[in-house]
Structure 1
């Protein structure tokens, strides 16, 4: 008989904050709280994978073998598979923050919202200056 601790999905989903973050990957539960600040993709990537089976999220990135091995130091137990619905991979926890993988478009929008009015103001001054001097 295994001595591994077994958790329900509801128990795992409660660990969804930056000071307490657990992930479910391939049926195993990992407490990655201490790794949040060191994660190359940022802590929001990990936090967005809480409360669900994060296997697809983990595999889609194409982690290295050293990243795979690193998981073992964060292992805390296994999932009670009877608590996982068949569509859990697609359902995020309601408390789970949305992760926007590509922040560039929002940055560009914010930049344009600042620069366009500034450009229009500069254009207005240029037109006014040009019409007064002509």
Structure 2
């Protein structure tokens, strides 16, 4: 019985080790660069390679903007679905999931003015 316990502990340690290595490989990106999350950021992701686990940092004035995680339909239409996650801190940190990740500002007219990004994380 003790050998099974040691084997299980070793398996847990191995899994934790892989998780630490994967997290160490994760990158942090400031959306929009020095300008932050603002108008015309739609092209900001171009040329960057994102991976699941990378963190996006959205810096903005919370009285003027927000960040909303949406699906493709919400991204294309600039509409926020009921139940969508809305971030309002002005210093939001959002971890990317594998596949498509879509974010908009849902203040009136902002998404339509290019305040939205679509990111494919490998």
Q: Same fold (TM over 0.5)?
A: no
Q: Which has the higher strand share?
A: 2
Q: Which has the higher helix share?
A: 1
TM-score range relative to shorter protein: under 0.3
